[in-house]
Amino acid sequence: MTVDSPEAMQGLGRTLAGLLRPGDLVLLTGELGAGKTTLTRGLGEGLGVRGAVTSPTFVIARVHPSLSGGPALVHVDAYRLGGGLDEMEDLDLDVSLPESVVVVEWGDGKVEELSDDRLHVVIARAVGHEEVLDDVREVSVRGIGGRWAAPGALAAL
Protein backbone atom coordinates (compact mmCIF):
# COMPACT_ATOMS: atom_id res chain seq x y z
CA MET A 1 0.00 0.00 0.00
CA THR A 2 1.06 3.61 -0.48
CA VAL A 3 1.32 5.89 2.55
CA ASP A 4 1.68 9.57 1.71
CA SER A 5 2.49 11.30 5.02
CA PRO A 6 3.76 10.69 8.54
CA GLU A 7 0.19 11.14 9.78
CA ALA A 8 -0.99 8.43 7.40
CA MET A 9 1.84 6.16 8.62
CA GLN A 10 0.67 6.68 12.20
CA GLY A 11 -2.88 5.96 11.07
CA LEU A 12 -1.71 2.70 9.51
CA GLY A 13 -0.15 1.82 12.86
CA ARG A 14 -3.45 2.52 14.65
CA THR A 15 -5.29 0.29 12.15
CA LEU A 16 -2.69 -2.46 12.47
CA ALA A 17 -3.01 -2.30 16.28
CA GLY A 18 -6.63 -3.38 15.91
CA LEU A 19 -5.43 -6.70 14.47
CA LEU A 20 -2.85 -7.42 17.16
CA ARG A 21 -3.16 -9.39 20.36
CA PRO A 22 -0.84 -10.52 23.17
CA GLY A 23 1.91 -12.75 21.82
CA ASP A 24 2.20 -11.06 18.45
CA LEU A 25 5.63 -10.32 17.02
CA VAL A 26 6.02 -7.56 14.43
CA LEU A 27 9.26 -7.07 12.49
CA LEU A 28 9.81 -3.67 10.86
CA THR A 29 12.23 -3.28 7.98
CA GLY A 30 13.20 -0.06 6.23
CA GLU A 31 16.09 2.32 5.81
CA LEU A 32 16.86 5.05 8.32
CA GLY A 33 14.04 7.58 8.26
CA ALA A 34 11.61 5.25 6.49
CA GLY A 35 8.92 5.58 9.17
CA LYS A 36 9.37 2.53 11.39
CA THR A 37 9.10 4.50 14.64
CA THR A 38 6.23 6.59 13.25
CA LEU A 39 4.34 3.38 12.49
CA THR A 40 5.13 2.11 16.00
CA ARG A 41 3.85 5.38 17.49
CA GLY A 42 0.52 4.66 15.79
CA LEU A 43 0.59 1.09 17.13
CA GLY A 44 1.06 2.50 20.62
CA GLU A 45 -1.89 4.86 20.16
CA GLY A 46 -4.05 2.04 18.84
CA LEU A 47 -3.07 -0.26 21.71
CA GLY A 48 -3.67 2.49 24.26
CA VAL A 49 -0.28 2.34 25.93
CA ARG A 50 1.41 4.70 28.36
CA GLY A 51 4.36 6.86 27.42
CA ALA A 52 5.57 8.57 24.29
CA VAL A 53 6.69 6.05 21.69
CA THR A 54 10.10 7.22 20.53
CA SER A 55 13.00 5.45 18.90
CA PRO A 56 14.71 3.08 21.35
CA THR A 57 17.99 3.16 19.38
CA PHE A 58 20.20 3.96 22.36
CA VAL A 59 18.30 2.08 25.07
CA ILE A 60 17.62 -0.89 22.73
CA ALA A 61 14.14 -1.59 24.17
CA ARG A 62 11.26 0.24 25.83
CA VAL A 63 8.16 -1.23 27.46
CA HIS A 64 4.93 0.75 27.24
CA PRO A 65 2.30 -0.68 29.62
CA SER A 66 -1.34 -0.66 28.59
CA LEU A 67 -3.63 2.01 30.01
CA SER A 68 -6.72 -0.04 29.17
CA GLY A 69 -5.97 -3.60 30.28
CA GLY A 70 -4.68 -4.65 26.85
CA PRO A 71 -1.22 -5.92 25.99
CA ALA A 72 1.89 -3.88 26.68
CA LEU A 73 3.93 -2.70 23.72
CA VAL A 74 7.58 -3.78 23.80
CA HIS A 75 9.45 -1.63 21.26
CA VAL A 76 12.92 -2.87 20.34
CA ASP A 77 15.52 -1.35 18.03
CA ALA A 78 18.01 -4.04 16.99
CA TYR A 79 20.00 -1.72 14.69
CA ARG A 80 23.09 -1.68 16.89
CA LEU A 81 22.91 -5.37 17.75
CA GLY A 82 25.09 -7.43 15.45
CA GLY A 83 24.28 -10.94 16.66
CA GLY A 84 21.18 -13.02 16.35
CA LEU A 85 18.82 -14.20 19.04
CA ASP A 86 21.73 -15.00 21.38
CA GLU A 87 22.58 -11.30 21.67
CA MET A 88 18.89 -10.48 22.16
CA GLU A 89 18.50 -12.95 25.06
CA ASP A 90 19.43 -10.32 27.64
CA LEU A 91 16.27 -8.44 26.69
CA ASP A 92 14.09 -11.40 27.78
CA LEU A 93 11.83 -10.95 24.76
CA ASP A 94 10.78 -14.58 24.98
CA VAL A 95 9.43 -13.84 28.48
CA SER A 96 7.66 -10.63 27.38
CA LEU A 97 6.15 -12.01 24.20
CA PRO A 98 3.22 -14.08 25.55
CA GLU A 99 1.53 -11.10 27.26
CA SER A 100 2.79 -8.27 25.03
CA VAL A 101 2.93 -7.08 21.46
CA VAL A 102 6.64 -7.04 20.56
CA VAL A 103 7.74 -4.74 17.74
CA VAL A 104 11.34 -5.06 16.56
CA GLU A 105 12.88 -2.52 14.23
CA TRP A 106 15.82 -3.93 12.24
CA GLY A 107 14.90 -7.43 13.46
CA ASP A 108 15.44 -9.36 10.23
CA GLY A 109 17.75 -12.29 10.86
CA LYS A 110 17.78 -11.60 14.59
CA VAL A 111 14.47 -12.48 16.25
CA GLU A 112 12.45 -14.70 13.91
CA GLU A 113 13.06 -17.66 16.24
CA LEU A 114 10.93 -15.98 18.90
CA SER A 115 7.72 -16.98 17.14
CA ASP A 116 6.52 -19.11 14.25
CA ASP A 117 3.77 -16.51 13.79
CA ARG A 118 4.81 -12.96 13.01
CA LEU A 119 4.10 -9.97 10.84
CA HIS A 120 6.82 -8.61 8.61
CA VAL A 121 6.33 -4.98 7.64
CA VAL A 122 8.60 -3.52 4.98
CA ILE A 123 8.65 0.26 4.47
CA ALA A 124 10.36 1.71 1.39
CA ARG A 125 10.62 5.25 0.14
CA ALA A 126 8.71 5.78 -3.09
CA VAL A 127 10.94 6.38 -6.08
CA GLY A 128 10.44 9.60 -8.01
CA HIS A 129 10.94 13.34 -7.82
CA GLU A 130 12.03 13.88 -4.18
CA GLU A 131 10.16 17.15 -3.66
CA VAL A 132 6.87 15.46 -4.51
CA LEU A 133 7.47 12.03 -2.95
CA ASP A 134 9.60 12.87 0.12
CA ASP A 135 6.95 11.62 2.58
CA VAL A 136 5.54 8.88 0.33
CA ARG A 137 6.25 5.30 1.37
CA GLU A 138 5.37 1.92 -0.05
CA VAL A 139 4.42 -0.44 2.78
CA SER A 140 4.00 -4.18 2.52
CA VAL A 141 2.64 -6.31 5.35
CA ARG A 142 3.15 -10.05 5.22
CA GLY A 143 1.83 -12.49 7.78
CA ILE A 144 3.95 -15.55 8.50
CA GLY A 145 2.65 -18.65 10.26
CA GLY A 146 -0.73 -20.10 11.15
CA ARG A 147 -1.90 -17.02 13.08
CA TRP A 148 -1.97 -15.04 9.84
CA ALA A 149 -2.84 -17.84 7.38
CA ALA A 150 -6.62 -17.40 7.56
CA PRO A 151 -8.12 -15.72 4.47
CA GLY A 152 -8.74 -12.08 5.26
CA ALA A 153 -6.48 -12.02 8.34
CA LEU A 154 -5.02 -8.73 7.13
CA ALA A 155 -8.07 -7.49 5.25
CA ALA A 156 -8.56 -4.50 7.55
CA LEU A 157 -5.38 -2.99 6.14
Domain boundaries, the chain: 2-146
pLDDT tens per residue, range 102-143:
999 988 888 888 889 999 999 998 776 555 467 899 999 999
Higher pLDDT, 48 or 127: 48
Q: Is 99 within 8 Å of 126 (Cβ atoms)?
A: no
CATH entry 3.40.50.300 includes domain 2-146 = yes
Please give the model's pTM, rounded to 2 decimal places. Answer: 0.88
Give the Cα separation of 59 and 19 in Å (integer).
27
* Helix (H) and strand (E) counts in the chain: 5, 7
pLDDT score at 29: 95
Rounded average pLDDT over 10-17: 97
- How far the first Cα of the chain sits from its last, in Å, is 9
In a 10 Å sphere around its CB, with 0-12 CB exposed, 13-18 middle and 19+ buried, how is residue 48 labelled?
middle
Rounded average pLDDT over 82-93: 58
Give the Cα separation of 106 and 104 in Å (integer).
6
